[in-house]
C-alpha cells in the first residue's frame, strides 16, 4: 500500500528513484545531498527527488525511500536525548520530519529509558527503523531480536510486537511511518487557525 524501503550505505553513493522522497539519518561521518546540503553525524534529512539524483555517503547512513511521494526538503538535528512527547509505557518520542499534509509520511525519534517492558501492540502500516543509540530488544510474537546501534528493522503492518530494555540499557530509534492520521489540512493549519475576519471596526 505504501511502497518504501530502507538501505544502509557505507562509503558509497545512493541513487534515488525518480519521483520519490528520501528520508535519511547519518550514523557516522557525513552525507552530501544532491542540493549541496551536508548532513553530519546524528542529523536527519528529507529530500524530494524528481530524478535519479545521487547522495554521497562519506561515512555510514540509512536511506529510507518512499516511492510516489514528494516531501519537503528538510535538514535537522542533531537528535535530542529524549523525545518531547509521551509515548506508551513511559517512553517518549519527537516528530523529526512532519507530514506536510494530513496522511503524509513522517520521521520520528523514539526513546526507551532503562527497564522498559513495553505492552504488546500493532500498527496499521509498516514501520521502518534504525537503532541510533544504546541497545535493547524487540519481541515479536514468537521471536526476540537483540538490537544494537546501526541495526535496521522492519515491522510489518499489524505485526504483534514490543520493545524492551534491561536496567542497564537505554534504546533510541529513528522510525519512519509511511502514513498517518495527523497533519495539517486546508481547513486546519497554523496559518489559518487564529486568523479572524473582521470588518475593521473595534
Same structural domain for residues 98 and 164?
yes
- pLDDT of amino acid 142: 84
Q: Which of 134, 163, 162 is nearest to 150 (CA)?
A: 134
Q: What is the rounded distance in angstroms from the CA atom of residue 154 to the CA atom of residue 60?
A: 19
Same structural domain for residues 167 and 96?
yes
Same structural domain for residues 21 and 53?
yes
Q: Examine residue 18 and state whether it is found in any structural domain, yes or no.
A: yes
Q: Examine residue 193 and state whether it is found in any structural domain, yes or no.
A: no
Same structural domain for residues 32 and 112?
no
Same structural domain for residues 66 and 117?
no
Question: pLDDT tens digits for 98-133?
Answer: 999 999 999 999 999 999 999 999 999 999 999 999
Same structural domain for residues 69 and 136?
no
Same structural domain for residues 38 and 65?
yes
Same structural domain for residues 151 and 91?
yes
Question: pLDDT tens digits for 28-70?
Answer: 999 999 999 999 999 999 999 999 999 999 999 999 999 999 9
Given a cut of 80, is residue 157 above it in pLDDT?
Answer: yes
Q: Examine residue 27 and state whether it is found in any structural domain, yes or no.
A: yes
What is the overall mean pLDDT for the chain?
96
Question: pLDDT tens digits for 70-80?
Answer: 999 999 999 99
Same structural domain for residues 63 and 127?
no
- pLDDT of amino acid 2: 87
Domain end, chosen from 76, 105, 122, is at 76
Domain residue limits at 141: 85-177
Given a cut of 80, is residue 200 above it in pLDDT?
Answer: no
Given a cut of 70, is residue 27 above it in pLDDT?
Answer: yes
How many domains is the chain partitioned into structurally?
2
Same structural domain for residues 105 and 130?
yes
Q: Examine residue 191 and state whether it is found in any structural domain, yes or no.
A: no
Instruction: Extract the C-alpha cell encoding 77.
Output: 538535528
Q: Examine residue 120 and state whether it is found in any structural domain, yes or no.
A: yes
Supply the CATH number for residue 54's domain: 2.60.120
pTM of the complete model: 0.94
Q: Given pLDDT bands bounded at 50, 70 and 90, which one contains residue 177?
A: very high
Q: Examine residue 116 and state whether it is found in any structural domain, yes or no.
A: yes
Q: Examine residue 195 and state whether it is found in any structural domain, yes or no.
A: no
Q: What is the rounded distance in angstroms from the CA atom of residue 121 to the CA atom of residue 175?
A: 16
Q: Examine residue 157 and state whether it is found in any structural domain, yes or no.
A: yes
Same structural domain for residues 110 and 164?
yes
Q: Which of 77, 29, 56, 62 is nearest to 150 (CA)?
A: 62
Amino acid at each position: 500500500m505504501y511502497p518504501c524501503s530502507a538501505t544502509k550505505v557505507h562509503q558509497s553513493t545512493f541513487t534515488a528513484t525518480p519521483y520519490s522522497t528520501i528520508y535519511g539519518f547519518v550514523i557516522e561521518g557525513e552525507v552530501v545531498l544532491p542540493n549541496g546540503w551536508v548532513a553530519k553525524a546524528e542529523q536527519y534529512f528529507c529530500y524530494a527527488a524528481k530524478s535519479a539524483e545521487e547522495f554521497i555517503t562519506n561515512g555510514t547512513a540509512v536511506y529510507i525511500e518512499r516511492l510516489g511521494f514528494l516531501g519537503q526538503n528538510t535538514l535537522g538535528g542533531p537528535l535530542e536525548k529524549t523525545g518531547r512527547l509521551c509515548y506508551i509505557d513511559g517512553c517518549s518520542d519527537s516528530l523529526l520530519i512532519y507530514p506536510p499534509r494530513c496522511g503524509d509520511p513522517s520521521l520520528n525519534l523514539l526513546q526507551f529509558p532503562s527497564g522498559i517492558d513495553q505492552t504488546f501492540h500493532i500498527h496499521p502500516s509498516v514501520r521502518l527503523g534504525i537503532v541510533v543509540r544504546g541497545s535493547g530488544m524487540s519481541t515479536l510474537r514468537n521471536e526476540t531480536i537483540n538490537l544494537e546501534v546501526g541495526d535496521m528493522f522492519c515491522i510489518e503492518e499489524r505485526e504483534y510486537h514490543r520493545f524492551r530494555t534491561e536496567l542497564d540499557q537505554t534504546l533510541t530509534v529513528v522510525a519512519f511511518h509511511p502514513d498517518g492520521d495527523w497533519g495539517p489540512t486546508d481547513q486546519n493549519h497554523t496559518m489559518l487557525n487564529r486568523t479572524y475576519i473582521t470588518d475593521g471596526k473595534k
